[in-house]
Structure 1
Amino acid sequence: MLLGTAPTGRPHIGYFVALIKIADFLRAGVEVQILLADVHAFLDNMKAPLDLVAHRMSYYRHLLLAVFTSLSIPTDKLHFIEGSSFQLSKEYTMDNHRLSAMVTEYDAKKAGAEVGKQVRSPMPSGLLYPGLQALDEEYLGVDFQLVGALPSAPRLRKRAHLMNAMVPGLAGGKMRKIRKSVCEEGNVTDNGLLSFLDAVLIPISHLWREQARLNDVSKDCVQRPFVGADAPKGCVFTIEREERFGGSLHYSEFAALKEDFAKRTVHPKDLKDSVGNAISHLLEPIRAMYANDRE
């Protein structure tokens, strides 16, 4: 399978949404290719010069490996591929020209708006972006991809495109500090904290419980589920509250926590504090590995 990422900036916690899905495939023994799309990053309205992108690719590679290591996910079937290692070849360039002669400007612009978040008057480079994604699948010989590609690309082998859920930004569409995040009391339909909890923290907590049960934890993983010391067996998340407000609440499934938030049993401040502490706990070993890696 393939996951493509363009190193246009600094990764944020939203990356965990896709990485948790990748972790499932790696645990199932699937060969996973992560495409570090340096050419795509350059074409995406020139957000980054190529020399800077080269350094970012190294950073992405080390960071993603640190994430999987911290979760005790096997990486023997994980492969990193640099886009420029094959996208600048004569064959790829010719196929790109052929594809450009088959795809309309309307379709390329529509697909580009989904992929490259283009401006109203896009550069021609951005219109190439979706076609390159389709060609990447062909040249890397993948059976399915976690992110979408140009569905109307002609004469290419059919492939599955698995779409992971998009998590709303924590504040104004960007992953900012938890305490500044938008979290309206009782609102469960447009709540980035609840979405991140459902898509990332709860699955990781279930993963750690299973690993602890099977004693399948690497020496670099010192994690435990996001629960309090007094949580009953089987719980995967704890909402930390002061005793004067009723004490902590423990949950074994997301649906119950979501229901309590909708009924305003869980206050936004308690949700923010608990999610923030869980994220800090999640990132702790990754930060340690980063600090100890000279490269």
Structure 2
Amino acid sequence: MLPVEERLRLVTRRQTVPEDEGLFVKLLSEKEKPNITWPHVGYFVPLAKMVDFLRAGLDVTILILDVYGFLVNYKHPMELVAHRREYYRLLATAILQSLGVQPGQVKFVIESTKVYTKDFMVDLQRLCALMTQQDARDTCDEIASTTMLSPMLCCVHQTLSEEYLAMDIQFGGEDQDGLFAHARKFLPLLGYRQRLHVMNTMVAGLDGLKMSSSKPADTKIEFLDDPDTVRRKVQHASCPPRQLAENGVMGLLEDVLLPISELRLERGRGQTGLNVDEGRGVTQRPFITEDAPEDAVFSVSAGEAKWLHFASYEELKRAYVGGAIDPQPLKDAVADAFNQLLAPIRQIYQESKEWQDVDRAAYPDE
């Protein structure tokens, strides 16, 4: 059995935790497999975090928010939202597989299978009767200025999902902080227990600024980008010499590539916690050269067949700020690592007629 302290470390590493840490210790001590649910799909960083949750022995669920998606994107018909729901399920399954997660280890739940029951609708009405419009607007920037009613119901749905999916912990990005605060405030007023929350940092785009689904395509790497597109995007990414501010390349290293490379290194050492099946049938090395030291997680060319090897992001950061690494070889290494990371996802897509058909139905104009 993994010690509670190690389970807590796996759950919370590289995360923001708004509640008292002692509440997590209590939960992990009293419950063998606490349920953690993530109500969003489509980003690499939180999907990679599922590996840690499984290592910690959590019961992991991904909630696909089709009703929420319709409410917040009210211009799209429900039929299109249904296609996108299926697209994201297939995408998340492929990404998890590429990360060494075995089929069936993460459950998928479709929101619309839970929210049309009589009990849920009664609780929705009860919660609406407790809230002001400002309570809804305070949950996130997206809702703050809306003139439509449907987006203001999103916080109601997400708060009630904690009870109706029997969550112990809800996982999300730091941009979900207002929604989590809403749940902490209102669930007890409905007579339900308060849940815990874990938040991942928001990844910067290739321009070094905050990532957003509404930003231009060239400011982010898409899961199905071909190798040449990945290289082109990384080559045009913000990477000022010796600077970390608004440095999209260093941001991707810190938030995406180095954490995944560390997971691979740990797996190679047998450090997979309670998930003994992690990586079964998959051989994946960290993003390093063949002659790298055994503790290295990233390699960058130093020219003339020489390489610099780093055991952590902190080491790499010091070298970059100190001028030991130039932007161009760093970009080359990042592009190569991303293409290695995305290759199995591309292959699954290319071999799946179902996914290709769903893609065309979900995004007919792209």
TM range (shorter): 0.7 to 0.9
Instruction: Name the CA distance, whole Å, in 1 between partners of 2:95 and 2:104.
Output: 14
Structure 1 residues 73 and 216: alpha-carbon distance in aligned structure 2, compared to 1, 3 A threshold? closer
Secondary structure at 2:58 match in 1: coil
TM-score (norm 2): 0.72
Instruction: Give the fraction of aligned pairs with identical amino acids, expressed as a percent.
Output: 37
**Is 1:40 paired with 2:101?**
no
Is the CA contact (8 Å cut-off) linking 2:249 and 2:331 kept in structure 1? yes
Contact 1:41–1:48 (CA under 8 A) maintained in structure 2: no
Residue number in structure 2 paired with 1:218 = 280
* Contact kept? 2:288, 2:309, Cα under 8 Å: yes
Structure 2 residue 238 is matched with structure 1 residue 182: yes
Letter of the 2:122 counterpart? M
Q: 1:112, 1:127 within 8 Å by CA — same for their partners in 2? A: no
Alpha-carbon separation, structure 2, partners of 1:160 and 1:233: 37
Question: Could you say what secondary structure the match of 2:350 adopts?
Answer: helix
Mapped to 2, the partners of 1:93 and 1:192 lie a distance apart of 44
Counterpart of 1:35 in structure 2: which amino acid? L
1:182 touches 1:192 (CA, 8 Å); kept in 2? yes
Query: Which amino acid letter does the alignment assign opposite residue 234 of structure 1?
Result: D
* Runs (5+) with no aligned partner, structure 1: none
Task: Specify whether residues 55 and 254 from structure 1 end up closer, same or farther in structure 2 by C-alpha distance, changes over 3 A only.
Answer: same
Are 2:289 and 1:228 equivalent residues in the alignment?
A: yes
Structure 2 counterpart SS, 1:163: strand
Counterpart contact for 1:238–1:250, Cα < 8 Å: yes
Equivalences for 1:1-295 in 2 at 5 Å? 1-5=36-40, 11=42, 15-46=43-74, 48-113=76-141, 117-118=142-143, 120-147=145-172, 148=176, 149=180, 150=182, 151-153=184-186, 154-155=189-190, 156-171=192-207, 173=211, 174=215, 175-176=220-221, 177-214=233-270, 217-219=279-281, 221-243=282-304, 247-295=306-354
Residues 174-224 of structure 1, C-alpha deviation per residue, up to 9 Å, x if partnerless?
Answer: 4152222222222224333223212221122122223233396332x2422
Q: What secondary structure sits across from 1:248 in the alignment?
A: strand
Q: Normalising by structure 1, what TM-score?
A: 0.88
Do the aligned residues in 2 keep the contact of 1:167 with 1:192 (CA within 8 Å)?
no
In the TM superposition, residue 134 of structure 1 has moved relative to its aligned partner by 0.4
Question: What secondary structure, in the 3-state scheme, does the structure 1 residue paired with 2:138 have?
Answer: helix
Deviation at 1:62, TM superposition (A): 1.7
Q: Is the 8 A contact 1:168 1:195 kept in 2?
A: yes
CA distance in 1, matches of 2:197, 2:103: 22
Q: How far did residue 52 of structure 1 move? A: 1.4
Give the whole-Å Cα distance in 1 for the aligned partners of 2:200 and 2:101: 19
Distance in 2 (CA, whole Å) between partners of 1:107 and 1:264 is 49
Deviations 1:110-168 (A, max 9, x none): 1032xxx2473431111111121100111111000112422322333111110111111
Kindly provide the amino acid, as one letter, of the partner of residue 229 in structure 1: E
Question: Which SS does the other structure have where 1:132 is aligned?
Answer: helix
1:137 maps to a residue whose letter is: E
Distance in 2 (alpha carbons) for counterparts of 1:89 and 1:218: 39
How far 1:256 moved relative to its partner?
0.8
**Cα distance in structure 1, aligned partners of 2:149 and 2:136:** 10
Aligned-partner residue type, residue 195 of structure 2: R
Amino acid at match of 1:191: N
RMSD: 2.1
- Separation of aligned partners in 2, 1:222 and 1:47: 44
Three-state SS of the structure 2 residue aligned to 1:200 is: helix
Alpha carbons of structure 1 residues 276 and 122: separation in structure 2 relative to 1, 3 Å: farther
Q: State the shift of 1:294 in Å.
A: 2.4
Structure 2 residue identity aligned to 1:126: P
Paired amino acid for 2:318: E
